[in-house]
Structure 1
Amino acid sequence: MTFKELPDHILTKQCKEGNETAFNVLFRRHFDDLLQYAGRQLKDRELAEELVMDLMLKLWRQTEFAEIQHLNQYLYRSLKNAIISHWRKKALSFVPLENMSASNEPLSRSADYAIIDAEVQTLYQDKLAELSPQRRLVYTMSRELEMSHAEIAAETNLSVNTVKNHIKAALNYFREDLKAYTEATLILLLLFLF
């Protein structure tokens, strides 16, 4: 069996030992898909390429390489976090100083949103933890990693219909369980849309 035929988890173990060939195979295997994903999110190919290259470099330098169980999921989650971080920095850099007032209102509003955000995230994580491990994995891959049903099916060795059923059941669970938290649910949805 050649390096190109080895699954990710074996290649990551090889990378932990400093095997550059294994890393190059992983790089070529995932780079284009990650670049497409970042390009769709950012609408800027150069920036997308920069973020993906930074991610891959970080991956090469990582000391707990062999501990990554699902490399594809790890890469997409890390890239999504890098994109969000970029958007936050960009948003902060566009706040003109003349718009900053001496009053406490913008600060208190910002603090209120931070508290609500933390509460909603905690609520979401608690409800997510109550799902079965397989349903939680499928839902996370779909909603947080933005993977297609087919991609999830291939990664988890489930049928596409089973993936759809898991996602539908998880959404129904959240819908029913969070009825009492309508405002929090709305905020949670807004967080995932933007």
Structure 2
Amino acid sequence: MSNIQLLEDDDLTRLLRTGDEPAFTEIYNRYWDKLYIQAHRLLKDTEAAEEIVQDVFLMLWKKREELNIQSLKCYMAAMTRYSVYRYISKDKKTKQQENIIGMITAEAIDETDIDNKLLLEIITELSNKLPEKCRLVFQYNKLQDQSLSDVAEQLNISQKTAEGHLTKALRVIRANLGNVANFLF
């Protein structure tokens, strides 16, 4: 057992103020478990409790020269308690922000779904104005996701003819969609 372990808290505090690392190590060894138990009891979270206790000792070392400690035991307990309160407050704000972001994202997805449905309705309406074969090729290929060769076979036309109908349909819909978009927005 070294001499530093025999010192009282007041003596350790005085040595700490002068930057004595063995005194700091002794304070750390003496109080780490007690502070951890205190933090864990309040948080019920092992990692958070360990992090808080480490932060308390880091703060103690950084501010060692300016500290005016009457009772090291009470001071360390108070530092830990306030660190837990700050952690809880920060955690609560983070969860509130995550909830807000989640709500905004859900609203944005809903708006996107509405926009997509509206756009699909407009495209369907525009495609209904096309000549019959042109309309069928477009709707089967683009709206029902059938391959162009399957559409050509189903309509009993050549693949080149189906490609021609699709090209015409896309040109007409794009031209009219631009007019509709200008009208809407």
* TM-score, normalised by the number of residues in structure 1: 0.48
Which residue of structure 1 aligns with residue 33 of structure 2? Answer: 32
Which one-letter code corresponds to 2:88 in the other structure?
A: W
The offset of 1:21, in angstroms, is 0.5
The offset of 1:31, in angstroms, is 0.5
Q: Among the aligned pairs, what percent are the same residue?
A: 32
**Could you say what secondary structure the match of 2:70 adopts?**
coil
Which residue of structure 1 aligns with residue 66 of structure 2? Answer: 64
Q: How do 1:73-84 residues align onto structure 2 when only pairs under 5 Å count? A: 73-84=74-85
Q: Distance in 1 between matches of 2:47 and 2:16?
A: 27
Q: Distance in 2 between matches of 1:20 and 1:52?
A: 18
The offset of 1:93, in angstroms, is 1.6
**Could you say what secondary structure the match of 2:49 adopts?**
helix
Structure 1 residue runs without a partner (length 5+)? 100-194
CA offsets, 1:161-182, max 9 Å, x none? xxxxxxxxxxxxxxxxxxxxxx
Which residue of structure 1 aligns with residue 10 of structure 2? Answer: 9
Which residue of structure 1 aligns with residue 153 of structure 2? Answer: none
* TM-score, normalised by the number of residues in structure 2: 0.50
The offset of 1:92, in angstroms, is 1.3
CA offsets, 1:134-160, max 9 Å, x none? xxxxxxxxxxxxxxxxxxxxxxxxxxx
The offset of 1:91, in angstroms, is 1.2
The offset of 1:53, in angstroms, is 0.5
The offset of 1:5, in angstroms, is 1.1
Q: Distance in 2 between matches of 1:94 and 1:17?
A: 41
Which residue of structure 1 aligns with residue 151 of structure 2? Answer: none
Q: Distance in 2 between matches of 1:16 and 1:52?
A: 20
Q: Distance in 2 between matches of 1:3 and 1:52?
A: 22
The offset of 1:17, in angstroms, is 1.1
Which one-letter code corresponds to 1:48 in the other structure?
A: A
Q: Distance in 1 between matches of 2:30 and 2:54?
A: 14
Structure 2 residue runs without a partner (length 5+)? 105-185
The offset of 1:18, in angstroms, is 1.2
Q: Which has the larger Rg?
A: 2
Q: Distance in 2 between matches of 1:3 and 1:32?
A: 19
Q: Distance in 1 between matches of 2:82 and 2:19?
A: 26
Which residue of structure 2 aligns with residue 85 of structure 1? Answer: 86
Q: Distance in 2 between matches of 1:19 and 1:93?
A: 38
The offset of 1:41, in angstroms, is 1.1
**Could you say what secondary structure the match of 1:94 adopts?**
helix
Supply the RMSD in Å over aligned alpha carbons. 1.6
Q: How many residues align?
A: 98
Q: Distance in 1 between matches of 2:11 and 2:38?
A: 25
